[in-house]
């Protein structure tokens, strides 16, 4: 370039020819900067909206799984109430039987004269007769009260058990209908512009979930011999076993010597002093769940029997005095009761989890109570307290065989997988209708959103699961408890989506 020397009156021809080149550079740079800023803004908006949509999807999936967990917990509470009421029915049947036995011993039975006769052979007969007369007066009142209230109480409890089953059934149906409604409502509350996807992916997810929910639980009828509740394996007679293991001592085995009245006459040890030296009564009784074919698990029967044990002292002189104590067991009283339709009191068969020696509090192996026990069998139970007695239908998990520590634990419920979408038109980016920056799709600053179907989507998965808090509610045996519908420890949790689920969502995005 030639050197230009400024001077008076001179011009700069080369500089004038370069005028305006900076404007072109500034214009290009400005467009690039603006595109960068728009891109940065768009990315920030899409990232924010994607995070918000994911939170919405997580909240909806978790809420749906929580609804299912509440259904399982409600059923668990209902089952526990049913078991408690069945135990109460068994106790009332036992009390009715016991009251009849008490009345038979002291007042109405054919053998109530026997102890009074033996007591009269002792100089200390008042030890026996005083207590006897007091209890005799009370026995009639107890029998009258139990006769009046036992039947209505059992009827109410049986109706309540039925109501609990139908209530849990209704709640279960309501849960199935409520889960989709809950998911949609939570989505709307969190983001009014978002909605549950109607893609083939979501339809497939919903169909699978419905099948899983349907198959996860089942209702069982323990009164039908040979059905799932009575098959062989660890789940056989599950409800009956839970009730049996919830029993108390009175319901199962009310066998004991009566502490009063009692007669002990030491004067009979004096040579030549004949008469009654010792008297005591022994009672045996229990309540049984009948599992006889034809009326399987449809009846509770109670049977009680009381025997009297007397030692009569006799002296002989040969020529010195020799005492001969003569033990005399005699029947004293008996009573029975029934709730259901099977009034069979046979001890050998038909009693759940009890053999002949265990039936009715071991009545039939006790030499003092076996005779009145067999009289009970011959007389029968009398009129039923409620013909609708026995076990009822209930709900539980379907897969109940828990034969190992690694299989069939039922600790996880059905997975709820949802796909949530949001239209790009509702997101404020440069190309959205609310902003429309860039001059349309032919403008220099136009940035298309690039999303499939002009929507953003998020997947989320949740499930109900069973976990008993070991610190808050530890088991006495220290074992890990498997999932069931007997304990209300069902909760909800979010789950990661696997590659197959993500791939299914991507593949079907082109199909609205």
Q: What is the pLDDT of residue 435?
A: 57
Q: Are 418 and 57 in contact (CB under 8 A)?
A: yes
Distance CA 66, CA 70 (A): 6
453: left (phi over 0), alpha (psi -120 to 50) or beta: left
Distance CA 132, CA 126 (A): 9
Residue 270 confidence (pLDDT) above 90? yes
Average pLDDT in the 425-431 region?
71
Q: What is the pLDDT of residue 405?
A: 59
Which pLDDT band holds residue 230 (cuts at 50, 70, 90)?
Answer: low
Look-up: residue for tokens 């109940």?
Answer: 400
Tokens representing 201 are: 């992916």
Q: What is the pLDDT of residue 432?
A: 63
Q: Are 384 and 341 in contact (CB under 8 A)?
A: yes
Tokens representing 32 are: 């690039």
Structure-model confidence comparison of residues 502 and 495, the more confident one: 495
Closest CA relative to residue 291, chosen from 234, 357, 255, 239: 239
Distance CA 450, CA 456 (A): 10
Q: CA 105 → CA 333, 374, 425, distances in Å?
A: 4, 16, 89
Closest CA relative to residue 201, chosen from 426, 412, 448, 453: 453
* H/E segment holding residue 174: helix 126-190
The tens digit of pLDDT for each residue in 276-298 reads: 999 999 999 999 999 887 778 88
Closest CA relative to residue 152, chosen from 461, 398, 388: 388
The tens digit of pLDDT for each residue in 338-381 reads: 999 888 899 988 899 999 999 999 999 999 999 999 999 999 99
Q: Are 339 and 386 in contact (CB under 8 A)?
A: yes
Look-up: residue for tokens 């909806």?
Answer: 60
Distance CA 251, CA 149 (A): 18
Q: What is the pLDDT of residue 232?
A: 46
Q: Are 334 and 304 in contact (CB under 8 A)?
A: yes
Q: Are 338 and 93 in contact (CB under 8 A)?
A: yes
DSSP 22-63: HHHHHHHHHHHHHHHHHHHHHHHHHHHHHHHHHHHHHHHHHH
Distance CA 167, CA 171 (A): 6
- Cβ burial of 272 (10 Å; 0-12, 13-18, 19+) is exposed
Distance CA 313, CA 291 (A): 47
Q: What is the pLDDT of residue 26?
A: 78
Q: What is the pLDDT of residue 238?
A: 84
The tens digit of pLDDT for each residue in 461-479 reads: 999 999 888 888 888 888 7
Average pLDDT over all residues of the chain: 86
Distance CA 295, CA 26 (A): 97
Alpha helices in 417-487 (DSSP H): none
Structure-model confidence comparison of residues 402 and 27, the more confident one: 27
**pTM as predicted:** 0.84
Residue 11 confidence (pLDDT) above 60? no
Classify strands 217-220 and 256-257 as parallel, antiparallel or unpaired: unpaired
Tokens representing 331 are: 């029947």
Distance CA 240, CA 80 (A): 12
Ranges of beta strands (E only) in 185-269 are 195-196, 217-220, 256-257, 263-264
Q: Are 217 and 485 in contact (CB under 8 A)?
A: yes
Residue 2 confidence (pLDDT) above 70? no
* H/E segment holding residue 81: helix 21-103
Distance CA 107, CA 112 (A): 6
Exposure string (b/e) for 493-505, b if CB count within 10 Å is 16 or more? eebebeeebeebb
- With vertex at residue 290, the alpha carbon angle to CA 289 and CA 291, rounded to the nearest 5 degrees, is 115
Within 10 angstroms of residue 228's Cβ, the number of other Cβ atoms is 18
Q: Are 280 and 257 in contact (CB under 8 A)?
A: yes
Residues of the chain above pLDDT 90, percent? 61
Classify strands 299-317 and 275-290 as parallel, antiparallel or unpaired: antiparallel
Alpha helices in 104-125 (DSSP H): 113-119
Which pLDDT band holds residue 47 (cuts at 50, 70, 90)?
Answer: confident
Residue 208 confidence (pLDDT) above 70? yes
- With vertex at residue 388, the alpha carbon angle to CA 386 and CA 392, rounded to the nearest 5 degrees, is 135
Closest CA relative to residue 150, chosen from 206, 213, 99: 99
**Secondary structure (3-state) at 8:** coil
DSSP secondary structure code for residue 269 in this structure: G
Closest CA relative to residue 258, chosen from 168, 82, 139, 377: 139
């Amino acid at each position: 370039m030639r050197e230009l020397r400024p001077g008076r009156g001179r011009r700069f021809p080369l500089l004038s020819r370069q005028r305006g080149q900076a404007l072109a550079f500034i214009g290009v740079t400005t467009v690039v900067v603006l595109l960068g800023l728009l891109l940065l803004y768009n990315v920030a908006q899409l990232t924010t909206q994607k995070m918000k949509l994911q939170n919405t999807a997580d909240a909806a999936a978790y809420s749906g799984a929580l609804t299912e967990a509440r259904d399982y917990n409600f059923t668990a509470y209902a089952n526990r109430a049913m078991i408690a009421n069945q135990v109460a029915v068994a106790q009332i049947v036992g009390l009715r039987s016991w009251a009849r036995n008490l009345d038979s011993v002291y007042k109405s039975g054919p053998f109530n004269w026997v102890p009074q006769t033996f007591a009269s052979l002792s100089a200390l007969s008042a030890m026996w007769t005083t207590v006897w007369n007091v209890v005799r007066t009370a026995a009639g009142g107890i029998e009258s009260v139990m006769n009046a209230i036992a039947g209505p109480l059992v009827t109410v409890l049986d109706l309540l058990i039925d109501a609990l089953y139908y209530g849990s059934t209704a709640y279960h149906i309501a849960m199935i209908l409520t889960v989709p409604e809950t998911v949609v409502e939570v989505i709307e509350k969190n983001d009014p512009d978002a909605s549950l996807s109607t893609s083939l992916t979501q339809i497939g997810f919903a169909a699978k979930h419905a099948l899983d929910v349907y198959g996860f639980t089942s209702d069982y009828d323990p009164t039908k011999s040979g059905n799932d509740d009575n098959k062989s394996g660890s789940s056989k007679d599950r409800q009956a076993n839970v009730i049996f293991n919830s029993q108390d001592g009175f319901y199962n085995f009310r066998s004991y010597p009566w502490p009063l009245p009692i007669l002990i006459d030491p004067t009979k040890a004096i040579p030549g002093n004949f008469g009654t030296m010792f008297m005591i009564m022994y009672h045996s009784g229990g309540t049984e769940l009948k599992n006889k074919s034809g009326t399987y698990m449809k009846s509770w029967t109670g049977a009680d029997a009381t025997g009297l044990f007397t030692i009569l002292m006799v002296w002989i002189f040969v020529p010195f005095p020799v005492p001969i104590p003569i033990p005399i067991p005699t029947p004293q009283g008996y009573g029975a009761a029934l709730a259901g339709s099977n009034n069979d009191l046979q001890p050998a068969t038909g009693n759940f989890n009890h053999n002949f020696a265990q039936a009715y509090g071991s009545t039939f192996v006790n030499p003092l109570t076996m005779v009145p026990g067999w009289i009970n069998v011959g007389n029968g139970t009398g009129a039923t307290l409620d013909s609708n007695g026995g076990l009822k239908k209930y709900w539980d998990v379907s897969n109940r065989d828990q034969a190992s520590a690694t299989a069939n634990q039922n600790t996880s419920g059905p997975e709820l997988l949802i796909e949530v979408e949001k239209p790009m038109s509702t997101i404020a980016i440069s190309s959205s209708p609310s902003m429309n920056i860039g001059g349309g799709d032919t403008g220099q600053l136009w940035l298309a959103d690039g999303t499939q179907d002009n929507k953003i989507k998020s997947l989320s998965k949740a499930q109900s699961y069973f976990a008993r808090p070991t610190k808050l509610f530890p088991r006495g045996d220290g074992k890990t408890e498997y999932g069931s519908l007997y304990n209300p420890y069902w909760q909800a949790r979010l789950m990661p989506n696997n590659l197959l689920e993500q791939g299914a969502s991507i593949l079907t995005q082109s199909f609205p």
